[in-house]
């Protein structure tokens, strides 16, 4: 699906800010897994939900982390499939780098969750562009209708 939205500076700057924040999160020596484990312990111990595991939080967190990337890359490159492909390539790259860091683990599950997030983000970008295009078409038609009718 092609996205004919104009490229905007806000997309590029938002992508740079996102990349910096995600890079710090994904590649820091102290992984976000420890934070998720603290939350999982709280759910198990304080809320009394026995058997609750960190992985139940980690996969959805990875999906959410890659939604903005899929959205922004899709707006930037104007093609949803290219945006998703780039996001997946970045996910695989991040996992490979994590494999080299002490106290970090690479995971195929993370790549799958990241890809799902990128697909959701790309779909949201497509929806954003479609709705924007419809709104602009209505505004243009309304303006033409006002100019054509001198009454």
Q: Are residues 87 and 26 in contact, defined by beta-carbon separation less than 8 angstroms?
A: no
Dig out the tokens for 112 from the structure.
Answer: 């799958």
Dig out the tokens for 90 from the structure.
Answer: 């970045």
pLDDT in tens, 74-122: 998 888 889 889 988 988 888 888 788 776 777 888 889 989 999 999 9
Dig out the tokens for 17 from the structure.
Answer: 């800010």
Question: What pTM did the predictor assign?
Answer: 0.73
**Average pLDDT of the segment spanning 65-74:** 92
What is the per-residue pLDDT for 64? Answer: 92
What does the alpha-carbon distance between residue 95 and residue 110 come to, in Å, rounded to a whole number? 8
Q: Are residues 83 and 77 in contact, defined by beta-carbon separation less than 8 angstroms?
A: yes
Averaged pLDDT score across all residues of the chain: 82
The set of residues, in sequence order, having a beta carbon less than 8 Å from that of 57 and lying 6+ positions away, is 36, 39, 40
């Amino acid at each position: 699906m092609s996205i004919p939205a104009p490229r905007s500076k806000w997309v590029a700057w938002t992508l740079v800010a996102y990349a910096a924040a995600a890079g710090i999160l994904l590649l820091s020596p102290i992984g976000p897994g420890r934070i998720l484990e603290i939350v999982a312990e709280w759910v198990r111990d304080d809320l009394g939900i026995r058997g609750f595991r960190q992985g139940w939080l980690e996969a959805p967190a990875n999906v959410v982390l890659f939604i903005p990337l899929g959205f922004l890359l899709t707006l930037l490159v104007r093609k949803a499939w290219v945006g998703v492909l780039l996001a997946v390539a970045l996910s695989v790259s991040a996992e490979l780098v994590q494999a080299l860091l002490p106290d970090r683990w690479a995971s195929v599950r993370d790549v799958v969750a990241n890809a799902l997030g990128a697909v959701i983000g790309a779909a949201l970008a497509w929806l954003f562009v479609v709705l924007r295009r419809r709104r602009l078409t209505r505004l243009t038609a309304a303006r033409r209708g006002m100019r054509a009718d001198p009454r």
